[in-house]
Structure 1
């Protein structure tokens, strides 16, 4: 049964979801229009500079933050791709998650601030993220974990597929948190889940997804990696809530990936909503504990004996 805290969180999302989230295509359009004239802040909270080393680099013409422990070596190499329906920037909850990874794992975390739709589109951004991933994987002898939530989860999977198609080495593991894997939102199972989701709707996501697809067909695997080949992908850890409109496509991904021989560590949160692992609720904390344990285990498994 969902915790009291998660039920309260879901109720709060129900109150504000139609106004500030992705229930109404008109609201999403206004978000996009607003971002064109008033860009969002992208940098980490100031307090992170006091507790971690934060460096700003520019990759492919856009910024990328590198966050490491204040002292001592980093023991894990992670790229975090933020969500936001491809139209919103990295947010406070993403920076909290990054800070947690750096602190608990003594991790070296990269956070690319990739260009958003409509300027940034799948045909441009996916190959660039794949190229950046290739750099990290080659530099770290394959010990790179790629994490993405929501749109970032779709981008992570598309980048891994593109990297495989180019013959590059894969990350050690993909961790997909409520991933948005098909921007067409055409899965016939979605209408049964949509009334349960307090934040997301097919119409609003289709609008944002069409912007991300740009000149591509929205069903193209660069924009909708659920339609891409799964063979040769690294092991995947997946989190999805039962009250998330993206739930049916995530189940379909699990089936396709396992049929292709991919190891899928699948977690469905009963009564949970979109990106619940990033929220300060018991279910979210347990999910983060599992993510930390998984990455730690990968590091021990890959690290050669002394």
Structure 2
């Protein structure tokens, strides 16, 4: 469901599986991927491994458009994770795998900003060997970004909450929450456009949807796990596709509402985010939120495409 725009229908819930442009589906998928990242990190730490929360920032980019910035970020990341240096690093560090996710925000002061959040799982190294890894990532990232101020920051992760939080920070951006003062995620832009009806907000949202294409973003999923990472650490973890996961989460968290309540919810993007957030907090919080907004439960009605 694209906040009231035409989309797929389900009895009792709406889900389209468009995890890049639908805040409802993105919230569910990113949250589940963050949970998976926490489970993998816990298993890795129990086995004596170590984890790093890495932020790759392309710095000051000459291209002002979001699509160009996103393409640059994807190209820089490919440079880090390819070639003989990447393979040699795996052998030297005992790297188990990585999880990565792009973070897109906009602010009136800085415009579009795209950074890459990475969770690296490897094994304890001598300090000089770790510094070699840091130096290689920094040089390859800077060369790929080709921008002034390109940087890679590292922080050790010692618990699973921090690991999931590193990925969930992106989840919050896609769910309409502020990452920082003045910084708005894609869902924030859409909610403001729908609330105010002002063309500048709609144009920002349209620019985001144009940029969130496979050619620009270079990532299939908002949160990507390196090949074999899940099976290496948690062989019993069942992998579900993003689209399937979005539908499952919607069915599990959103109850059947009356046709009138669904129509009101579909027309108010900000209200949708409040209801979804309440649903993920628990049944009691959801019931209170629905009652507070006068959204009556009952037999759901299929919504006709506008």
TM-score tier, shorter chain, comes to: under 0.3
Larger Rg: 2
Q: Which has the higher contact order (CA 8 A, sep 6+)?
A: 2
- Could you say which structure has the higher helix fraction? 2
